[in-house]
Chains A and B, each alone.
Chain A
């Protein structure tokens, strides 16, 4: 039992430590693809260190929401980490606190506070970004729900650990059309939720075109560090859910042995690296969509997930 608690905490530690690394690798690869040298892969760590040692400036007009949000944005991905399979394929101590729907709610809670905080400061770009994020969010919600529904329908459960078993055992299950279509829909969702191209440009500096970034514009010092880190952890968590549950359910620790769990860490990082490569290809070959075309993008994600559901419902 204590081992399960230990492994759960180890999971959280892994996410905390390696999330900025993933962000750093992503940035570096994107720059390399564009024939530039790019920053070092450890640059996000240096940025976080720098920000933690800076002073904070907080507007007098802002309320408690503004002050609380960085902590919430930092804690919610950690909370979700406790629930999903990151290193092990068997449920850990806190795994039954919430299922996938609950995890989705928790992540949405973080997003909700971020949006509120953006409005709180009366900076003109903040509410603009917040309203756009809400638009993308409400279009992405049906896709999330359908994905969860189909997954639950297929695997008879919404706990990620149980769902993951289903795609592992008979190999034919992996090739099920509902599975493949779900993967496609989920990739589109990740692009929308994490604010990557083609939905939003994560490295853009033009405030009028920002969707996700502008919510964190007002923060400085420690709060900015927490928001950044929280954002990186959110991407990491989404990738873990995607890879460890849907795409490659293998490579996780099977037994309650510390050695296996430690071995799972580089395997998970390797899987994430492969996906980061795919993400870099997607990001470098597409252009950012016009704002009102995002509804079409998410519409196609919706269609894909409903097609997955149809194919499953008609027992094919």
Chain B
């Protein structure tokens, strides 16, 4: 039980488990109705990212990854919800989306298809890197990226859209901790700070939208578009 081979395989299994749960939270963010629930799922996802970074650090003995894990545990589960609660009005969190652009079972199936697509796309990538860099992180990271983008396409409420953005970044990072292991810690810190500033500005924007327009269903704001063909004859008459 104590020989290094078993420890390594247990670490690998745990890492893959974290990946599987990461994928589940990405699916959850696409379909959960309540705004608060998406925030909780995002926090879970960030903790899983930190766990995976920690496990990879244990497995490969890399200090950078421990730092990544620490930064993730502090910045995302703690600071981001704090910023959001301070900036956006409490009422926004009680919103639920009755309808999305597609109905939820259909959304889930498309999300599944996207996850499988991500796996297929990353097969040549996995072959191109050295053996110790391979693993489940890269496909799951790509899947997280695609699912976050899909969330942005189908949801309408502001807070879930923001969470979808942050989930995309989580996905990019999840793939990154496996690929770019020795990225300088300074860069990681800067990216995390950047993330906080982004959340702050977007929250300010959401507050402005809430104040001036009255609703936070930003996905249905669609005033600005080009002229449709039928309106042109009316214009000429005028």
Contacts and interface: CB of A to CB of B under 8 A. Distances in A.
A182 B119 CA distance: 20
Given A300-B108, A316-B135, A307 B1 contact: no
A316 B16 contact: yes
Contacts of A204: none
Contacts of A314: 119, 136, 139
Nearest to A316: B136
B13 A175 contact: yes
B119 A171 contact: no
A259 interface: no
Given A170-B9, A314-B139, A177 B108 contact: no
Contacts of A177: 13, 16-17, 19-21, 136
Contacts of A310: 115-116, 119
A299 B111 contact: no
B209 interface: no
A143 interface: no
A180 B17 contact: yes
B35 interface: no
Nearest to B18: A177
Contacts of B6: 170-172
A310 B114 CA distance: 12
B31 A300 contact: yes
Nearest to A315: B136
Interface residues of B, number: 28
Interface in A274-299: 295-296, 299
A53 B12 CA distance: 60
Contacts of A181: 20, 24
A176 interface: yes
Contacts of B119: 310, 314
Given A300-B31, A311-B136, A175 B108 contact: no
A130 interface: no
A288 to B, nearest CB: 16
Contact of A299 (B19, B108, B115): B108
B205 interface: no
Interface string B1-45: 100001001101110110111011001100100000000000000
Contacts of B17: 175-177, 180
What is the interface of chain B mostly: helix, strand, loop, or mixed? helix
Nearest to B11: A172
Interface string A174-197: 011110110010000000000000
Contact of A176 (B16, B31, B111): B16
Contacts of A252: none
A306 interface: yes
A161 B16 CA distance: 26
A176 B13 contact: yes
A171 B1 contact: yes
A219 interface: no
Contacts of A316: 16, 19, 135-136, 139
B20 A302 contact: no
B191 interface: no
Interface string A139-176: 00000000000000000000000000000001111011
Most chain-B CB neighbours within 10 Å: which of A171, A175, A180? A175
A48 interface: no
Contacts of A170: 6, 9
Nearest to A293: B104
A308 interface: yes
A303 interface: yes
A27 interface: no
Nearest to B137: A316
A307 B9 contact: no
B112 interface: yes
A304 B115 CA distance: 12
9 contacts: A170-B9, A171-B6, A175-B10, A177-B19, A180-B20, A181-B20, A296-B104, A300-B27, A307-B23
Closest 6 CB pairs of A and B: A177-B20, A175-B13, A316-B136, A172-B13, A299-B105, A172-B9
